[in-house]
Amino acid sequence: MKVITTFTQALGLLCSLSLAVQTNSHSRDAACKPHHPFRPLPATQPRARTCHVASHGHGRDDSASILSALKKCNHGGKVVFDAGKTYTIGKALDLTFLKHVDLEIKGTVKFTDDTDYWQENSFKHGFQNATTFFNLGGEDVNVYGDGTLDGNGQVWYDLYAEDALILRPILFGVIGPLKLRYSPQWYHLVANSSNILFEGIDITGYSKSKDEAKNTDGWDLYRSSNVVIQNSVINNGDDCVSFKPNSTEILVQNLLCNGSYGTSVGSLGQYETEVDIVENVLVYNISMFNASASTTATACFARLTMDS
Ligand SMILES: *[C@@H]1O[C@H](CO)[C@@H](O)[C@H](O)[C@H]1NC(C)=O
Ligand SMILES: *[C@@H]1O[C@H](CO)[C@@H](O)[C@H](O)[C@H]1NC(C)=O
Ligand SMILES: *[C@@H]1O[C@H](CO)[C@@H](O)[C@H](O)[C@H]1NC(C)=O
Ligand SMILES: *[C@@H]1O[C@H](CO)[C@@H](O)[C@H](O)[C@H]1NC(C)=O
Ligand SMILES: *[C@@H]1O[C@H](CO)[C@@H](O)[C@H](O)[C@H]1NC(C)=O
Ligand SMILES: *[C@@H]1O[C@H](CO)[C@@H](O)[C@H](O)[C@H]1NC(C)=O
């Protein structure tokens, strides 16, 4: 896809030209087509240094080297997960300290299948009992590359345990053709966040056993605003994109959803004392294959546009 290529290259350019004057044509905002975000997405600052993450190989835990590379290149650098390498994550990572940093994922990042450890140590988020392998957050963070994030979901599908990848970012861009594979549960939980662009994400994760890969939503948005999700392919077994309570100013365009319930407004009014709002949502040009209908709870939502 042309848009992806152009944008990835543009980011690369910003990375290598630390003194380059930023032009609008390289901004996250300009990458949003055909519709524009409800509010402009903040521009990214140039990156001046590069850190490569060391990999131990053979399934040994690399979380310490990931943390050390991120700390070293935080505030104006780029952290690279090299092509041809597999990085293993066996510890829950709190990556909410990120600021003005890029993560370029060219290799494979895989989470261990130690379900006992993860059930004990993953981050707990209260809402619908969501738990996550890592928390990613901060300010002006870009994640891009043609590598893979692998959640090692098969053990979880078989256990029917609940887990999910989380992104808890602020001013955040995830730019494909990044591949996400086998999330145990939801692929993205976007919570308490604003100003985020997801572009060119490729999601697949079917169960290879008789146990279904359940609740493998592509994106769940919660208490978040000004989020763009576009030009992505989602092969899953649940919602493609789900607008949970307090999702506002959400633009979803040019998606291919296969095998899902499509885009849905879900789980509103679930917690008795909470006021749940979904408003200013534009959904444009979603192709759905093998979609099935699901029930939708109703609560307070406004200005939802479903186009084409
Ligand atoms: C979001 O913020 C609220 C209030 O600050 C907090 O209670 C909640 O745990 C946060 N949710 C997530 C998923 O981080
Ligand atoms: C969360 O888990 C508890 C038991 O651990 C269960 O009682 C509750 O219904 C779950 N809540 C949701 C929203 O799934
Ligand atoms: C709709 O989205 C698809 C990608 O899923 C893209 O190829 C196509 O050009 C888009 N069409 C319009 C009219 O934007
Ligand atoms: C859609 O998913 C089915 C499996 O349910 C698969 O066989 C098919 O190849 C997928 N189609 C596309 C376009 O990816
Ligand atoms: C949603 O936003 C409204 C208005 O700001 C607030 O009263 C409510 O507590 C929020 N609900 C959740 C689930 O965060
Ligand atoms: C729908 O799913 C079936 C298998 O479940 C697959 O053979 C078919 O290719 C899918 N359709 C599309 C359009 O992907």
Nearest protein Cα to ligand 2, atom 1: 129
For residue range 129-186, what is the model confidence (pLDDT) as tens digits? 777 888 888 889 898 889 998 888 777 766 654 444 444 444 456 666 677 777 777 7
Query: Would you say residue 77 lies in a domain?
Result: no
Q: What is the distance in A from the centroid of ligand 4 to the CA of 259?
A: 7
The answer to whether position 180 is within a domain reads yes
Q: pLDDT at position 258, please?
A: 86
What's the confidence (pLDDT) of residue 60?
96
What number does the ligand 1 atom closest to the CA of 125 have? Answer: 13
Q: The CATH number of the domain where 183 resides is what?
A: 2.160.20.10
- Burial of 78 (C-beta count, 10 Å sphere; 0-12/13-18/19+): buried
The preferred substitution site among 128, 192, 244, 267 for testing ligand 1, maximizing ligand atoms within 8 Å of CB, is 192
Answer whether residue 37 is part of any domain.
no
pLDDT, tens digit, 9 for 90 and up, residues 81-114: 999 999 999 999 999 899 999 999 999 999 998 8
Q: Is 267 in the pocket of ligand 2 (CB under 6 A)?
A: no
Looking at the CA of 258, name the nearest ligand.
4
The reported pLDDT for the residue numbered 232 is 92
**CA 49 distance to own-chain centroid:** 24
33 assigned to some structural domain:
no
Distance 239 CA to ligand 1 centre (A): 23
Q: Is residue 10 part of a domain?
A: no
* CA 258 – ligand 4 centroid, Å: 6
Enumerate the β-bridge partners of residue 204. 181, 235
Q: How far is 296 from 245, CA to CA, in rounded Å?
A: 13
> Is residue 24 in some structural domain?
no
How confident is the model at residue 245, as a pLDDT?
Answer: 86
Spans in the chain with pLDDT lower than 70: 1-26, 157-177, 214, 260-275, 291-308
Q: Give me the number of domains the chain comprises.
A: 1
Q: How is 231-289 classified by DSSP, letter by letter?
A: EEEEE-SSEEEEE-SSEEEEEEEEEEEESS-EEEE-STT-STT---EEEEEEEEEEEEE
Question: Residue of the nearest CA to atom 3 in ligand 5?
Answer: 275
Q: Whose CA is nearest to atom 5 of ligand 4?
A: 259
Residue nearest to atom 13 of ligand 6 (CA): 289
Contact residues of ligand 3, CB 6 A cut-off:
34, 254-256, 285, 287
| pLDDT of amino acid 106 | 94
Minimum-distance ligand 3 atom for the alpha carbon of 256: 5
**Is residue 159 situated within a structural domain?**
yes
Domain of residue 172 covers: 110-307
Residue 34 in any domain: the answer is no
6 alpha carbon, distance to own chain's centre: 20
Give nearest CA residue, ligand 1 atom 8.
125
Residue from 186, 193, 223, 273 to probe ligand 1 pocket by mutation (most atoms less than 8 Å from CB): 223
List, in order, residues 6 or more apart from 240 with CB less than 8 Å away. 217, 218, 219, 234, 255, 257, 260, 261, 262, 263, 286, 288
| CA-angle at 106, arms to 102 and 109, nearest 5° | 90
Looking at the CA of residue 289, tell me the nearest atom of ligand 6.
Answer: 13
Question: In the prediction, which pLDDT does 208 show?
Answer: 77
Distance between Cα 73 and ligand 6 center (Å): 44
pLDDT value for 104: 94
